[in-house]
Amino acid sequence: MPVSIAITPGEPAGIGPDIVLQLARNDIPASIVCFASPQLMQQRAQLLGINIDIKILHDLSDRQPHSAGSLQVYPVQGLKSANAGTLDAGNANYVLATLQEAVNSIQGHQLDALVTGPVHKGIINQSGIPFTGHTEFLAELTQGTPVMMLAADKLRVALVTTHLPIAQVSQAITARNLEQVIRILHHDLIHHFAISHPEILICGLNPHAGEDGHLGREEIEIMQPVINKLRAENMRLSDPLPADTLFTPRYLDRADAVLSMYHDQGLPVLKHVGFGHAVNITLGLPIIRTSVDHGTALELAGTGKASTGSLQSALDLAIDLATKKSGKIDAF
């Protein structure tokens, strides 16, 4: 049996169901189980004009390798409406239930990895459920310490802080937080990506990496001591580098990953390189999780115009990581 991948389509009004159905028409070297409402997937297939065999799977032990033109669906209850392009706050519990069921299947060693489609944070919060994002929700479910990393082609960019206002970023970059993120990144590059001695480039927080303290002292007082400590443990880390020159071939050609201090420091470059096929990977969890790098695109839902590029990349990477893990006794 090939590795088994759980897929959650995400927001039912968005393009998640569309791109899952579109991919299911293709050959996939894995067993794929979609955690969703079978009625939603069938209705969306009809709207898109996709001829696909929806196979309802009540027992995960009955799963089969993927067959092009079919989709194994593990039924999740609670869907209130399934209108493409029209959000419904009543679906929030259903969306979170798909994630809960999928995570349970992986923690129960029935499936091997999770690929997530896009959710709509706003409508989940509108329903009265506090929700900051997939990553935080999955960390709570799995008791992990998440680190967000996006990858496109040969570029990998991890983040110390994620969805924070700029005014709060500097306070969030503490020695303890920075050390924890670097340790997780270093560990997972070795154990997930099979990079034996990874080289990590560190972005400075301030312009010109602080210009020797004249443009900020975080690099000197917080970052450099952590870097020196971890170098003493044989980690290959750069000094804090100016972000405006770090993302050039001179540096990237020798790097296995870049660590950015905040969301919009590293991700604009990553998405310029790989928009449409970049993958969001959550490090620091006891499960493998990859995701698309885009949102729900409500205006494209049900039109057949949504691109499957990022979902295909996320699925390919999940299969690769799960395959590597299955060949290792101590992968995590």
The reply to whether 50 and 161 lie within a common domain is no
Residue with more model confidence, 299 or 154 = 299
pLDDT of residue 72: 98
Shared domain for 140 and 157, answered yes or no, is: no
Domain that holds residue 174: 146-275
Give the Cα separation of 63 and 73 in Å (integer): 10
Q: Is residue 280 part of a domain?
A: no
268 and 312 share one domain: no
Give me the pLDDT at residue 114, please: 98
- Determine the Cα–Cα distance for residues 64 and 281; give it in Å rounded to an integer: 26
Residue 97 CB coordination number (10 Å): 17
210-244 per-position pLDDT tens digit: 999 999 999 999 999 999 999 999 999 999 999 99
Same structural domain for residues 5 and 45? yes
DSSP of 121-132: HHHHHHTT----
**Are residues 83 and 124 located together in one domain of the fold?**
yes
* Predicted TM-score of the model (pTM): 0.91
Sequence-ordered list of residues with C-beta below 8 angstroms from that of 196, at least 6 positions apart, any chain = 190
| Cβ-contact 259, 181 below 8 angstroms | yes
Of residues 124 and 133, more confidence is placed in 124
Q: What is the dihedral of CA 312, 314, 320, 324, to 10 degrees?
A: -170
Closest by Cα among 154, 96, 88 to 127 = 88
**Same domain as 220, residue 163:** yes
Q: Count other Cβ atoms within 10 Å, centred on residue 186.
A: 23
Domain CATH code at residue 87: 3.40.718.10
Residue 203 and residue 48: Cα distance in Å, rounded?
44
Of the candidates 167, 107, 114, which has an alpha carbon nearest to the alpha carbon of residue 141?
Answer: 107
